Amino acid sequence: MLTTVVGNYPKIPNRPRPARLRNAINRFDRGEMSAEELRAVEDDVTREVIDEQVEAGLDLITDGQIRWEDEQTYVARRLDGVSINGLIRFFDANTYFRQPVVEGPLAWTGPITVADYRFAAEYSPRPVKAVLPGPYTLARLSRDEHYRSLEKCVMAYAEALNQEVRALQGVGAALIQLNEPAIVKHKTDLPLFQRAVERALEGVTAERVLYLYFGDVDGLYPQVLDLPIDVLGLDFVTGARNLEVLKRAPFTKTLGLGLLDARNTRMESVEQIVEGLRRVQEIISLGRVHLSPSCGLEFLPREVAQAKLVRMVEGARRAQEVLV
């Protein structure tokens, strides 16, 4: 069993340290700081969150997406054909994103996250997975003024993301993850979703990871097992029914087990984590589990996020002692 995170990590530091990144972005926006100076602050904060994940004991980390404005904007704004509009609430979360507007043909013009991945991989003593928004979620959260067709917009995003995925693979990314929370809200779009994920991951030999969160996969399972992925990550907090849903068919992938509530400051006990793993062990061997929070950690204060990861690692170790 490996311990990991889903993607993002809180940018705001533990008190009483100053919010250097927020201050730097404000100064950059006012023209008081150069792009190089802002990048140096982003580098420092990325190192901080990598250190915190390593100190918590995680086996597999991310760069925390510290340079990302939100889950969609960082990638979408760097594609041809996209502009960025005003703030929209991110599903039912307490965060917002700047809505991408598709104004022309979508096109990938060069690497978007490759330098970020390389920076994290060179600094981290632990393996780093690359994380991208999935094509279906990007399209669902965009305003399409060009294709005027959900199918065409989704597949255009899939085409562009495939080139980014291949670029990440080309610099050695051994695990590449797509985050697709939107599909659990629009389950009748499963055939389109399957086509989009297949296209986005076409030609990829790295370990392919797909995370679905903010709901359960009733109506999507077991069909999602046919996707060309190695790890299927699910939310067992908002999607509490997932445990029963997975019993309907043999689980043939590695399970990304989103067991800890990433949207609530309440701390799970070690005993609760062990009990959750015991129930999951009825379906799948713990050796085929990537234990994680239920979604990204940006909804939590940074000190709480790290404390939850420490508790998660402790629970995983205890479970391996008493259950395996």
pLDDT digits 0-9 by tens, 17-58: 667 888 888 888 899 999 899 999 999 999 999 999 999 999
Please write the tens of the pLDDT for every residue from 239-267: 999 999 999 999 999 999 999 999 999 99
CATH of the domain spanning 2-17+56-322: 3.20.20.210
Average pLDDT over residues 94-102: 92
Instruction: Give the pLDDT band (50/70/90) at residue 16.
Output: low
Query: pTM for the complete prediction?
Result: 0.95
At residue 17, the pLDDT reads: 66
Average pLDDT over residues 141-158: 98
Closest by CA to 215, choosing from 137, 105, 114, is: 137
Instruction: Give the pLDDT band (50/70/90) at residue 15.
Output: low
| Residue 324 in this model has a pLDDT that exceeds 80 | no
At residue 20, the pLDDT reads: 82
Please write the tens of the pLDDT for every residue from 262-286: 999 999 999 999 999 999 999 999 9
Distance CA 227, CA 233 (A): 13
Residue pair 254/292 in contact by the 8 Å Cβ criterion: no
Say what percent of the chain tops pLDDT 70: 98
Distance CA 307, CA 304 (A): 5
Distance CA 234, CA 246 (A): 10
Q: What's the mean pLDDT when you consider all of the chain? A: 95
| Strand ranges of the sheet holding 80-89, from the earlier edge strand across to the other edge | 80-89, 96-107, 143-144
At residue 18, the pLDDT reads: 67
Instruction: Give the pLDDT band (50/70/90) at residue 170.
Output: very high
At residue 150, the pLDDT reads: 98
Distance CA 61, CA 69 (A): 19
The residues spanned by each domain of the chain are: 2-17+56-322
At 207 the three-state DSSP class reads strand
Question: Going by C-beta distance under 8 Å and a sequence separation of 6 or more, which residues neighbour residue 143?
Answer: 85, 99, 100, 101, 102
Distance CA 239, CA 245 (A): 10
Please write the tens of the pLDDT for every residue from 172-193: 999 999 999 999 999 999 999 9
